[in-house]
Structure formats: structure tokens, C-alpha cells
Amino acid sequence: MDLNLAGKHALVCGSSQGIGKACALELASLGANVTLFSRNQTALEAVKTELDTSQGQQHNVLVADFSQPEQVKTAINNFITEQHSFEILINNTGGPAPGLAINSDANAFVNAFNLHLVSNHHIVQALTPNMKSKGYGRIINVISTSVKQPLNGLGVSNTIRGAVASWAKTLANELGEFSITVNNVLPGATATARLDAIIAGKAKKQNISIEQATINEKNIIPMRRFAKPEEFAAAAAFLASPAAGYITGINLPVDGGRTSCL
Ligand SMILES: NC(=O)c1ccc[n+]([C@@H]2O[C@H](COP(=O)([O-])OP(=O)(O)OC[C@H]3O[C@@H](n4cnc5c(N)ncnc54)[C@H](OP(=O)(O)O)[C@@H]3O)[C@@H](O)[C@H]2O)c1
């Protein structure tokens, strides 16, 4: 099985911590040159020092706020003009604030749409010309299992994740003929700062300890534990590899079996 990414260039969004960072580490370990892309330059520079360089990989850092799509568009287009091009894209950013859909301000949906879909779209439009000319493209979107089964208490997130999944499936149909695959990887409960915040919120709301809220979350997962970020990254890296060249348009949960539908 060909998992070799030597000579490939990967843009990894939301990579200063958590799932995105784990993806960046995994892609670099398979030989890719990685560009880390999010808001916190200091944190990104620190991650950059952890990336594998044993095959001569060159890594970079790019900064923009994905809640400002025009900023993202300018940053990525300027970067590409400076002779950078990519065959692999991991679309990822911070999750919307929790809360019931019915109580959410209408602007929260607009903001989340900008953060998760419009910014992704600017990046895809900037990167696909090179993917087409190389005859190799891998677009991987980090979404959520809520694409398959809405999660209680994540009203804005559930809504926007569905839009991102439909956008991705449409792109898979449009870009397949250019050997560009578009796939969604859906994290379940993954041990990151985002999960800590969600569990703390549930503990407060239910007036239980964080320890009890953690046990409750694990008990609804057949594997009875949270994912390590690197377990998610392994799935994303496989989809980025030559070995996954005929897989496109899918939603792949990495959730320890938590999603109860087929
Ligand atoms: N962890 C889970 O259990 C879980 C489950 C389901 C879905 N998800 C989703 O998977 C994605 C990644 O989750 P995670 O747990 O790794 O989250 P995380 O630990 O909160 O990390 C989020 C990453 O996104 C970046 N980011 C946040 N807001 C941004 C913005 N406005 N512009 C640019 N970058 C931004 C952050 O970097 P900077 O601060 O440097 O910008 C950070 O690197 C999220 O969408 C999350 O909702 C996670």
C-alpha cells in the first residue's frame, strides 16, 4: 500500500493544536511538506518545530482568521503567488459554540457558515488549479459525526456541518475527473481542548462533576474511550495518500462506533 507523501505539499488548517496538529504531524511523518494555517502564529511556529524533517521536508506557517473569509482568501492567494502550491488540503477550524438551535441568534448561523464553509471554499478555489495540473488532489474536511446524526446541544454546529458535507459531496462529483478526491472525516469524541470545553459545559448544565460527565460520555461509545487525535490523523493521512486514490465523496466517522446509524 502506497502511503508515501514525499514531494507532496499539504496545507493543514486549524493546526496549532488538537486534531489539525495531529494531522500535520502525521502527514509530515509520511514525507509531506506541511504548511500550518490558523490564527496563532506563535503556536504554529511551535508546532512547526515538531514536524518531521528527516526526508528534507520544508514546512511553513500561514496566518489568518477563518471567521474573516476575505482575510483567508487574501492570505492563501498571496501565499500561492509566492510559488507555493499544494496537492493536499485538510480543511479544519474551531467548532461553533454549543447551545440549542432554537435559542441561537441568527447571526451565529451566518458566522459559522463563514467560518466553516466560505473560508474553506476560498481555499479550495485557490488550490484546485494546481491539483488539476498535477493530476493529484486530496481535499479532506474535518467535520463531525453530526453530519450523520445531529448531536444534542450543538444546534448551530449540526446545521452548518450538514452544509459543509453537502458542499463536499458536490465538489467530489465535480472534481473526480481531475483525480481530485474530496472526503469528510468525522471526529467523534476526541481528546482535545474542544472536547474538554464541551464536557465542562455539560457538567455545569447537568450540575454534575467533570469526572461524572466524562464517564457519561465514554459510556455511550462502544469502545468506552475517547479517540486520541493521532487516531483521527491516521484516517485523514490514509485518505491523503496515493493508496486512497479511488475513494471520494465519503463521510468517514472516527468515533469508536458512537454513531448509531449505518
Ligand atoms: N474534539 C472533538 O471531540 C470533536 C468532535 C467533533 C467535531 N470536532 C470538530 O473538529 C474540529 C477540530 O477539533 P479540535 O478538537 O481539534 O479543536 P481545537 O482543539 O479547539 O482546535 C481548533 C483549531 O482550529 C483553529 N481555529 C479556531 N478558530 C479559528 C479561526 N477563527 N480561524 C483560524 N483557525 C481557527 C485553532 O487554532 P488558532 O487558535 O491558532 O486559530 C486550533 O488549531 C472542530 O471543528 C471541532 O468542532 C471535534
248 lines ligand 1 (CB under 6 A): no
Does 81 have pLDDT greater than 90? Answer: no
Report how far ligand 1's centroid is from the alpha carbon of 96 (Å): 9
The residue that leads in pLDDT, 243 or 83, is 243
Q: What is the mean pLDDT of residues 52-59?
A: 98
Res 245: pLDDT: 98
Res 200: pLDDT: 94
Minimum mean pLDDT range among 64-73, 172-181, 192-201, 228-237? 192-201
Res 83: pLDDT: 81
Q: pTM of the entire structure?
A: 0.98
For the chain, the average pLDDT equals 97
Report how far ligand 1's centroid is from the alpha carbon of 1 (Å): 30
pLDDT, tens digit (0-9, with 9 covering 90-100), for 83-133: 889 999 999 999 999 999 999 999 999 999 999 999 999 999 999 999 999
Q: Enumerate domains of the chain plus CATH numbers.
A: 9-188+228-254 (3.40.50.720)
93 lines ligand 1 (CB under 6 A): yes
19 lines ligand 1 (CB under 6 A): yes
Percent of the chain with pLDDT over 90: 98
Report how far ligand 1's centroid is from the alpha carbon of 14 (Å): 6
Does 196 have pLDDT greater than 90? Answer: yes
Report how far ligand 1's centroid is from the alpha carbon of 18 (Å): 7
Does 82 have pLDDT greater than 90? Answer: no
SS (H, E, C) the chain: CCCCCCCCEEEEECCCCHHHHHHHHHHHHCCCEEEEEECCHHHHHHHHCCCCCCCCCCCEEEECCCCCHHHHHHHHHHHHHCCCCCCEEEECCCCCCCECCCCCCHHHHHHHHHHHHHHHHHHHHHHHHHHHHHCCEEEEEECCHHHCCCCCCEHHHHHHHHHHHHHHHHHHHHHHHHCEEEEEEEECCECCHHHHHHHHHHHHHHCCCHHHHHHHHHHCCCCCCCECHHHHHHHHHHHHCHHHCCCCCCEEEECCCCCCCC
Res 84: pLDDT: 82
197 lines ligand 1 (CB under 6 A): no
